């Protein structure tokens, strides 16, 4: 059942078309991220859901209820802001009490619920503090508690971790995700950080220039990106240009490239002769020095393995891995992750081996 339906909403400011026919179905208890660069419309979408913006056309449904014309205070939402937006003249307990008082919850009930939610965000004993007496991470946990204590039907998070430092941000990702799963609340999370969206979400909506580039699970989006821009935005990727030579199965193809013929996976229905880009993630490429590869022969991999040769032009030590830049015979440069202890030198000839199932074809 869909807890929240965004149905073909459009929003314009003057000549600017900010949202173009955005539709997103969100299931009960799902954690959905709106991901994209600034100006892609993700925040406007969130504000439409919250009721701070009204779409020009289209509908927004909470369950069966049409809230398109409802004021924010009538929608039953919880919202967490990048700036935390805690009321500075109220203590933590008063901040949490605010939404409960509006809902006319009895004082005894209020106290119990405030204590419960403070325990949930691990801030017991902080109820008498003012927001200014808390660290950034603590303030954001209070903001989360304030949004959750009213038990809203939807939780909206607007880049809540953007103001925190890197270590705390990593910690808070798991904290928020864990809390969201325990409470089981439908959540919409706006972020421009693809790593954040990957680790936290059930589904990701990749947006650019007011449209949805792709809507799917993190795995789908990472392994089966819908376009070059999605592939480029999520993680690192290599692309090699070519033409479809023949379809080997429903989703497997033989692609003719300047480096030779490559077996690749791609969406069904690509026609013969179509221009495509073969996407390969750096971690899916195996590297051997040419000499070692010759010694072992080709028998080790499956028949679907592709082998390309090239020379190392750059090597960057990254701790857990070395990132190599390899120049192929065709002139394309490919980024490859290799084990940090692998002794490959700049200038060395290497064989790059990757499976057809680890590739994905993008229309070019």
Partner 1 sequence: MSAVEAAPRIESRSNRGSATWMVVPALVLLIGFFALPYLTIITMSLREASTRAVYGEGFTLAHYTSALRDFYIWGILGRTLLIGATVTVISLLLGYPVAYHLAKSRSRWTSLLYIFVLSPLLVGLVVRTFAWMIILSNNGVANQALQAVGLIDFPLQLMNNSLGVTIALTHVFLPFIILPLLGNLQAISPDLAMASRSLGASRMRTFWKVTLPLSMPGIQAGTILVFVLSISAYVTPAMLGGTGGRTMSVLVVQYLVDNFRWPAGAALAIIMAAVAVIFVGLYLRLTARAMRRLP
* Residues at the site binding partner 1, with contacts judged by CB under 8 A: 50-52, 71-73, 76-79, 81, 83, 85-90, 98-99, 102-103, 130, 132, 143, 146-147, 150, 156
Q: Which is nearer to partner 1, 72 or 232 (CB)?
A: 72
CA 358, CA 151: separation in Å to the nearest integer? 43
Q: Are 315 and 289 in contact (CB under 8 A)?
A: no
Residue 34 forms beta bridges with which residues? 190, 205
Q: Which is nearer to partner 1, 188 or 204 (CB)?
A: 188
Q: Smallest distance, Å, CB 163 to partner 1? A: 12
Q: Which is nearer to partner 1, 155 or 308 (CB)?
A: 155
Neighbours of 51 (CB within 10 A): 19
Q: Smallest distance, Å, CB 135 to partner 1? A: 15
Q: Which is nearer to partner 1, 164 or 293 (CB)?
A: 164
Q: Are 9 and 46 in contact (CB under 8 A)?
A: no
Q: Smallest distance, Å, CB 183 to partner 1? A: 17
Q: Smallest distance, Å, CB 263 to partner 1? A: 52
Q: Smallest distance, Å, CB 85 to partner 1? A: 4
Collect contacts of 48-53 with beta carbons under 8 A, ≥24 apart.
48/6, 48/9, 48/11, 48/19, 49/4, 49/6, 49/77, 49/154, 49/156, 49/188, 50/75, 50/77, 50/79, 50/156, 51/75, 51/77, 53/11
Q: Which is nearer to partner 1, 44 or 306 (CB)?
A: 44
Q: Which is nearer to partner 1, 142 or 326 (CB)?
A: 142
CA 179, CA 172: separation in Å to the nearest integer? 10
Closest CA to 306 of 345, 267, 248, 363: 248
Q: Smallest distance, Å, CB 230 to partner 1? A: 30
């Amino acid at each position: 059942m869909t807890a929240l339906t965004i149905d073909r909403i459009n929003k314009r400011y003057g000549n600017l078309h900010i949202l173009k026919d955005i539709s997103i179905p969100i299931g009960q208890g799902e954690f959905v991220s709106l991901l994209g660069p600034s100006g892609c419309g993700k925040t406007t979408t969130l504000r439409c859901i919250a009721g701070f913006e009204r779409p020009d056309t289209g509908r927004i449904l909470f369950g069966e209820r049409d809230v398109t014309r409802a004021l924010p205070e009538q929608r039953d939402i919880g919202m967490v802001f990048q700036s935390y937006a805690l009321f500075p003249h109220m203590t933590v307990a008063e901040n949490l009490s605010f939404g409960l008082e509006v809902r006319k919850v009895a004082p005894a009930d209020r106290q119990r619920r405030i204590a419960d939610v403070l325990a949930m965000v691990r801030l017991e004993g902080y109820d008498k503090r003012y927001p200014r007496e808390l660290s950034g991470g603590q303030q954001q946990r209070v903001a989360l508690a304030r949004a959750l204590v009213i038990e809203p039907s939807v939780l909206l998070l607007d880049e809540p971790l953007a103001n925190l430092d890197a270590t705390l941000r990593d910690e808070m990702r798991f904290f928020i995700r864990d809390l969201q799963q325990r409470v089981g609340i439908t959540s919409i999370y706006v972020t421009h950080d693809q790593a954040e969206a990957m680790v936290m979400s059930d589904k990701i909506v990749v947006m650019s220039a007011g449209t949805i580039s792709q809507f799917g699970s993190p795995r789908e989006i990472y392994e089966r990106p819908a376009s070059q821009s999605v592939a480029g935005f999520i993680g690192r990727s290599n692309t090699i240009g070519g033409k479809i030579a023949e379809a080997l199965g429903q989703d497997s193809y033989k692609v003719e490239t300047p480096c030779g013929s490559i077996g690749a996976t791609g969406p069904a229905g690509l026609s013969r002769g179509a221009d495509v880009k073969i996407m390969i993630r750096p971690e899916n490429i195996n590297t051997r020095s040419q000499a070692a590869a010759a010694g072992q022969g080709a028998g080790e991999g499956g028949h679907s393995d592709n082998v390309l040769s090239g020379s190392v032009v750059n090597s960057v030590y990254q701790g857990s891995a070395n990132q190599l830049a390899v120049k192929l015979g065709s002139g394309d440069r490919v980024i490859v992750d290799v084990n940090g202890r692998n002794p490959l030198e700049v200038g060395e000839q290497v064989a790059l081996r990757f499976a057809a199932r680890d590739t994905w074809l993008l229309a070019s």
